[in-house]
Amino acid sequence: MYPVCLVSAGVYWAQGQLPLAQAVPYLLGGLVGGMVGGRLYGKVSTLWLRRIFALFLLYGGVQYVR
């Protein structure tokens, strides 16, 4: 996934459509999330992962309806 994101970001940057100041918070969030996810990998039961994912889906659905 990482190489695909790099190529995509490179294409947008080459076209001048990637405002770096606006992208930095998302890049930092992705970096932190990846590091936390890597540390938790294998330590969280699938039951809890399903519950967390269900909560995200529910939250997204409510936001979509609003």
Q: What phi, psi does 26 have (nearest 5°)? A: -70, -40
pLDDT band for 10, please (50, 70, 90 cuts): confident
Query: Look-up: residue for tokens 């519950």?
Result: 51
Q: Could you write out the DSSP letters of every residue in 2-62?
A: HHHHHHHHHHHHHTT---HHHHHHHHHHHHHHHHHHHHHTTTS-HHHHHHHHHHHHHHHHH
Domain map (residue ranges) of the chain: 2-65
pLDDT of residue 24: 85
Which tens digits make up the pLDDT trace of 14-54?
Answer: 998 888 788 888 889 988 988 998 898 889 899 998 999 99
pTM of the model: 0.56
